[in-house]
Amino acid sequence: MWQVNVDTRQLLAAARLAADRAAAFLRREEGRLAPEAWSEKGRADFVTEVDRESERLIGETLNRAFPAGTIIGEELTPGPLPSGLVWVVDPLDGTTNFLHRFPYYAVSIGALVDGEPVAAVVQHVSRGIRYHAVKGGGAWQDETALHVSAVRDPRHALIGTGFPFKYVAQLPQYQAQFAAVLWSAAGVRRPGSAALDLCDVAAGRFDGFWELTLAPWDVAAGTLIVREAGGMVTGLDGTAEVIRHGSIVAGNPVIHAWLLELLNAAPAS
């Protein structure tokens, strides 16, 4: 049973320890797996023994600290979000990047209480950077406070995105949105890790971000980090409930509002 008087910073400390263990393991394993060791969950959607071991290390650490909590993870334990204390874990966000030694992948751990994000850690493994937040405590990159950008003019905005590579039926909608953003903003980037993309919004490197289909483990930690940095995170329909399978739109308040309107007005070809 969840005890409401547990300090969210205790949750954060457990998440940090779990992320550190997983990140150390991932750094040791980078470049070791040949393509024949990769398994495809879907088209261009890979999973390996490394993902599974990273999740095992995280689960072991979190269970030791909070045995009454539930862990939902991408690789071993996907499922609906229950009530109480839930850890929503992506043990390796950016698996394809990891497999190609492209240095943009992360460990993402979000703590939810009755569906509400209250603590979050995103560990940028290759750079050794930790992003973290607790509800009401601000967002941080290591010991530096994070704030979303002050960019207000879309012509000056750099926007992050993710391709719907697993959902090709969404390509017409996405292509129309991509064209609209590309024509209106300063630039569009797709690094390949939604957890880190959201942290880049929180840090003001991206002014906005959108993707059409993400899972809870992709966004549970990053959503809290963006919001604690002063940003907005909603679905494409404007709902604030985004810890689910669905779309996401994030940004500083001005760019978020502009991006949301632009995306919804883009006609699918």
Amino acid 166: pLDDT: 79
- What CA–CA distances, in Å, run from 16 to 12, 39, 49, 108, 230? 6, 29, 22, 10, 22
Helix axes 171-184, 253-265, angle to 10 degrees: 130
Our separate counts of H helices and E strands in the chain read 7, 14
Amino acid 2: pLDDT: 42
Same-fold call for 8-145 versus 154-265? no
Beta-ladder partners of 214: 246
CATH topology of domain 8-145: Fructose-1,6-Bisphosphatase; Chain A, domain 1 (3.30.540)
> pLDDT per position in the chain (269 positions), as tens?
344 456 899 999 999 999 999 999 999 988 776 554 545 444 444 457 888 889 999 999 999 999 999 999 875 455 568 889 999 999 999 988 998 899 999 999 999 999 999 999 999 999 999 999 999 999 999 999 999 999 999 999 999 999 987 778 889 999 999 999 999 999 999 999 999 999 999 999 999 999 999 999 999 999 999 999 999 999 999 999 999 999 999 999 999 999 999 999 998 75
Instruction: List the chain domain ranges.
Output: 8-145, 154-265
Radius of gyration for the chain, computed over Cα atoms and rounded to the nearest angstrom: 18
Supply the pTM of this predicted model.
0.92
Amino acid 83: pLDDT: 87
The CATH-assigned architecture of domain 154-265 is 3-Layer(aba) Sandwich (3.40)
∠ CA 92-189-158 to the nearest 5 degrees?
125
As given in the structure block, the two tokens for residue 95 are 């698996």
